[in-house]
Structure 1
């Protein structure tokens, strides 16, 4: 079950959210997390059951697969539950919120791609994450 945390100040309910692309620290959509009061929790990796695609080199899409997957680098953020819809609405088309299993056994909410979004796109699973892919391509952080 995804991790929910209640904070005593105002009884804010926070939800753990694993992000794998432009919502990560220092990247182009990170401000969307910060604007709803989200806080960085930790770096993590998924279980080796995901594949990652570059969508026109603008953002990644991570999809859970039954076989042929790998561990993908993610960041886990604590997001006020009330801000989750705002974050989702700011994501590129074809990305959604679903359940993601982390290597430490925790299941959390996370950003996932719709399989149709990945058709005809470059698979980048072998890089292990969006930042590693950008670094290998010599692309500035997006």
Structure 2
């Protein structure tokens, strides 16, 4: 019976009737906690310093075709690299988290410009929150 079941699953997969479910666990781990502009940590914190990563990268071939803009902005890998650089800055300051993270970009005829900002913060200890 086991061979028949395996054969049926194989036939269904090859004919396109069966779509296997693949769960993607693509959660990047950064050296500090990351909270975007619309999120807040559930712990009290003290701001340390505003941080930013900015720059320009040339348009890729897939972004322009026949001197026309096809797509704008940075791809997901470039955004993750920017966030990694921002979190490393926060870690070097001794921060526990990065809050109010924002990403903005602009596109010219030759380049993608980007700016990612955030605030490095230190979580308050339990004694500090009850004393205040």
Question: Which of structures 1 and 2 has the bigger CA Rg?
Answer: 2
- Fold agreement, TM-score > 0.5: no
TM-score by length of 1: 0.22
Which one has the bigger helix percentage? 2
